[in-house]
Amino acid sequence: MDRTSRARQIWSLVAMNGFVPMKRQPLYLVNTLTSPFSFLFFIAIVGGPAAIPFGVAGGMILTILSIGTSLQTDMTHYKQDLKLQDMVVASPMGAGIYVTGMALSEFVYAIPGMTVFAILSVLFGHYVFLGGVAVVVTLVLLWIFASALGFTLATYLADVRETFAVSPIISLALTVIPPVYYPITRWPAFLRPIAYIFPTTWAANLVQGALGISPSPLTLVQGVEDGLVLVATAAILFALAWAKAQWRER
């Protein structure tokens, strides 16, 4: 299969699960924006102007993580209810193309929110040297992690209703408990190693450092270390999903 055919297949998935539903029901966009901007609103009210940059950084991370939540729901629906994955397995489309197309289709819903947060980060952040590049790279790595998480959960969940129970737990475990909307220095020193169990802590360190709002400046070594953790976590999740999925191309 040539590159043109692969690109066409990916675009078909993006259109099917991204642009077409968004065009038919714009409320999907409102749903995607609700949680990140709700957190930002309350943080601004409670913490004042000084807390807004952390709310913006956390909003970026939560918006990207919502891609993983949406991906697990959609892939579980297509797999269990519509049997689409069975048809894809029996078609010339490979597993990599299917997952890539579905992941990109979820990213469509994040574009408006990320655009607003990007503007807010310029207004309220204090970008360090190459900070914008660091934020983009971090969010791409986080998108890969979120997609891997969504793909893994969709592989193990047998009913769409189960995703409704899992999604709030994911949001709580990855964006509320870890230092995503606030600096890690708010954690007692002896508990900070626990914070690094959560991959989003590493992503938050990168984003907050790139925005120039972190209590400690972002160094090149720390940036590479944080990025490698996100890549390694995503790779482990993809490996788990791949082993469970038993995808067979025919």
Tell me how far apart the alpha carbons of residues 125 and 211 are, in angstroms, rounded to a whole number.
5
In a domain, 213, yes or no: yes
Q: What is the pLDDT of residue 249?
A: 46
pLDDT in tens, 6-54: 899 999 999 999 999 888 888 777 777 788 888 899 999 988 988 999 9
- The residue ranking higher by pLDDT, 218 or 221, is 221
Contacts of 228 (CB under 8 A, 6+ apart): none
Write phi, then psi, for 108 (nearest 5 degrees).
-55, -40
**pLDDT band with cut points at 50, 70 and 90 for residue 247:** low
Q: What is the pLDDT of residue 245?
A: 62
The token duo for 206 is 């990168």
pLDDT in tens, 117-143: 999 999 998 888 788 898 999 999 999
Contact criterion met (CB below 8 Å) for 95 and 247:
yes
Contact criterion met (CB below 8 Å) for 102 and 13:
yes
Average per-residue pLDDT for the chain: 86
In a domain, 227, yes or no: yes
In a domain, 250, yes or no: no
Contact criterion met (CB below 8 Å) for 114 and 62:
no
Count of structural domains, the chain: 1
Residue 42, CA distances (Å) to 28, 66, 137, 171, 208 in order: 22, 19, 28, 17, 19
Handedness of CA 155, 158, 164, 165 (dihedral sign): negative
- The range of the structural domain enclosing residue 187 comes to 3-245
In a domain, 195, yes or no: yes
Q: What is the pLDDT of residue 250?
A: 39
pTM summary value? 0.89
Q: What is the pLDDT of residue 246?
A: 56
Lowest mean pLDDT among 45-54, 103-112, 151-160: 151-160
The count of other CB atoms within 10 Å of the CB of residue 208 is 27
